[in-house]
Structure 1
Amino acid sequence: MPHIPDQMSGMVLTGHGGLDCLEWREDLSVPQPEPGQVLIRVGAAAINNTDINTRTGWYSKSVRGDTAAAASEGYGGQTDADGAWSGALQFPRIQGADCCGVIVAVGGGVADSRIGERVLVRSMQVPKSAHAGLPLVTFGSEYDGGFAEYAVTYSEDALAVSSRLSDVELASFPCAYSTAEGMIQRCSLKAERVLITGASGGVGSAAIQLAKRRGAHVTAITSPEKAEELKGIGADETLGRNDALPEQSFDVVLDLVGGPKFPLLIDALKGGGRYAVAGAIAGPIVELDLRTLYLKDLSFFGCTKQDPRVFEDLVGYIERGEISPVVAKTFALKDMRKAQEAFLSKRYAGKIGLVVEEA
């Protein structure tokens, strides 16, 4: 049996707000796995938009602007009542939707043979009895996640993975790639023409690869300086963020941006096209002409909850080498503030990884 200490280090979110709400602690109690759970020694994690949006409280209905507007400073307490996925968040909270590590202990009802397994944690989980009544549960939001040396999760949500990739490379997959795959499965993307917004981000770059593995022709919206990098991971062509969009040209739009250019995305769809959305970094409030929706026979898909098969499929893609990690930069977990600042700079394509160093 591996040695498990009583205390651990980790990054704690103390409340909704700015970067000063992230507090590095070295006296956190190591969690104990309850029946049906496993304890994971975390090797690496990664940063996602949802970590920052949860920190600031951007999910609150009171927020109408883009995700960058208060990403450094927060909203001054205005979002405390409903700032997380499922409403009010309990603090302190260890965030971290991405997690790669090794199972070091198990709770009741879990086979001891699981100890020693290298695993990825499912980010979007079916609510268990402890969270009954919540519409959804995300690892690192409704309960503590991967931004610490140890984390607990339910055995069914810790999937064994066999791969030569490093921990930080594997940790880049769970949240972003399952979000992208969830969008793709919901709208049944095939070998069609697809337009992807926010394509240089974690979910966008994942969507490029996942769409290509289904034979789609991918047009990615990005900044000119990132265009060649995105073509290198599979985009067939790119458009600048301010370029005109060709009308009636795409079977599917995978949107992570929203905001004022939303009507142009809808105009870019062919008749009978499908629009799938899982983010709104340019703003959640958009204008929709209902005549366009019904006269073009469009289908809209809001994508958050995921069928359990989405993550299971994703692990299979990883093990067969059908998708590749896109890790732009790596920081130590204790340098979380610097890592989030790098993420917010938008200079990088792909994910910002976090290495959890041995105590």
Structure 2
Amino acid sequence: MPTDTSTSSLPDSMLAIVTTGHGGYECLETQQRPVPTPGEGEVLIKVLAAGMNNTEINTRLGWYSSTITTATQQASSAHDNADADAATDKPAPPEGGWKGETPFPLIQGTDCCGEVVALGPNADASLLGKRVLVRSCMRSEGWDSLENEWMGSDFDGAFAQFVSVRASEVFAVDCDWSDVELGSLPCAYGTAENMLEQAELKAGERVLILGASGGVGSAALQLAKRRGATVYAVAGVAKHEALADLGADRLLDRKADLLELLGHESVDLVVDNVAGDNFPVMMKLLARGGRLVTTGAIAGPMVTLDLRDLYLKNLRLLGTTAWCEATFPNLIRYVEQGEIRPLIAASFPLTEIVTAQQQFLSKGHVGKFVLEPWA
């Protein structure tokens, strides 16, 4: 173990949830693993809270494979409804990770709030003892390349009591948020801020946010309001009160006829992590020169696109995964200046990850689910 100057000792082993391969909940195993040793330029973080996201479920299911064309919930149900032998024997797509083959066995967990408890050689000593957030999306070949890697997808992440991460991706944060609240931030808020940044959202523009009650959607709502936009939020009616508290200017039921209610060419930007059958309506809603930005497709990845809408109205379709350099520092600043606030649906002990993912997929919540490794 590395020399530790902030605590008297560190354990040799830790609790971790290890994803053993593509499949159902049987692939989530509670294991004792060695506490990682931070390498050159790395720090060891004691994980205090780890948010839960669609991407962890999608990776486990192999949903990123082009052979899967259904929504995340349907893909999960297919595993749930199969008997154990069928679930185990069914061949999984080797390219089911977001960049191809996933490096199983893998400790997932894209979000991390924690405390730096040890340093590897030549790591930033000022981080020791600090409460920190980890930048989930890491531009591994520099900011001039779109190549990127994600903690918990490409290498071991935060669904464990400790994680080792490059110090350059670790940000101290000074605020009164709880660990659970901070643990909800990196992936969802980073994704949302990156979408709005790349879509060049300006004050006074009209933004339609689909799936506004989810982690990314509720983050995008707050961040769009922070930029001075008018926000139309789409979610189930039972969730409207919570979204109104976040500042939504107009609330729309997810089953509503959006074209009838809003009209043709009524929005400047669509923030869409839903996709599915309703995608063609988004093209009708966009004004000339409008943009649609996406980084997900929870209602289904296969959509219909009328190219006449795209070219006759000079629309732009933006896919975003690689974060801009400013994205995460922006978030830290917003938190420390009190410009955004967390929205926690529930927290669970890490060992209850299956229950948490089952409730997550029921989509009855508003905000983020967070796992606590020491609970």
- TM category, shorter: over 0.9
State whether structure 2 residue 272 is matched by structure 1 residue 264. no
Distance 1:79 1:299 in 2: 35
Assess if the C-alpha contact under 8 Å between 2:124 and 2:167 holds in 1: no
Assess if the C-alpha contact under 8 Å between 1:86 and 1:135 holds in 2: no
Distance 1:4 1:128 in 2: 33
Change beyond 3 A, Cα 1:107–1:128: farther
Describe the SS at the equivalent of 1:184: helix
**TM-score, with length taken from structure 1:** 0.96
The one-letter amino acid of 1:172's match is S
Q: Alignment RMSD, CA only?
A: 1.6
Describe the SS at the equivalent of 2:73: coil
Offset, 1:255 = 0.4
Describe the SS at the equivalent of 1:70: helix
State whether structure 2 residue 259 is matched by structure 1 residue 242. no
Describe the SS at the equivalent of 2:33: strand
The one-letter amino acid of 1:292's match is D
Distance 1:71 1:124 in 2: 25
Where has structure 1 moved over 6 Å in runs of 4 or more?
A: none
Alignment partner for residue 8 of structure 1, among 14, 33, 45?
14
Alignment partner for residue 51 of structure 2, among 46, 52, 58?
46
Describe the SS at the equivalent of 1:293: helix
Assess if the C-alpha contact under 8 Å between 1:86 and 1:136 holds in 2: no
Offset, 1:73 = 5.0
Offset, 1:113 = 3.1
For each residue in 1:8-43, what CA deviation from the matched residue of structure 2 results, as whole angstroms up to 9, or x when unmatched? 001110111111111111x20101111011100000
Alignment partner for residue 200 of structure 2, among 188, 213, 227?
188
Offset, 1:4 = 1.2
Describe the SS at the equivalent of 1:189: coil
Assess if the C-alpha contact under 8 Å between 2:146 and 2:322 holds in 1: no
The one-letter amino acid of 1:21's match is C
Identical positions, percent: 48
Aligned to 2:103: 90
Q: How does 1:82-231 map to 2 (within 5 A)?
A: 82-127=95-140, 135-191=147-203, 192-231=205-244
The one-letter amino acid of 1:354's match is L
Q: How does 1:289-328 map to 2 (within 5 A)?
A: 289-328=306-345
Structure 2: unaligned runs, 5 residues or longer? 80-86
The one-letter amino acid of 1:290's match is L
Change beyond 3 A, Cα 1:7–1:279: same
Assess if the C-alpha contact under 8 Å between 1:60 and 1:79 holds in 2: no
State whether structure 2 residue 76 is matched by structure 1 residue 63. no
Distance 2:214 2:164 in 1: 28
Alignment partner for residue 232 of structure 1, among 245, 251, 261?
245
Aligned to 1:30: 35
Assess if the C-alpha contact under 8 Å between 1:257 and 1:282 holds in 2: yes
Offset, 1:50 = 0.5
Distance 1:205 1:94 in 2: 27
Offset, 1:274 = 0.8
Aligned pair count reads 354
**TM-score, with length taken from structure 2:** 0.92
Assess if the C-alpha contact under 8 Å between 2:15 and 2:373 holds in 1: no
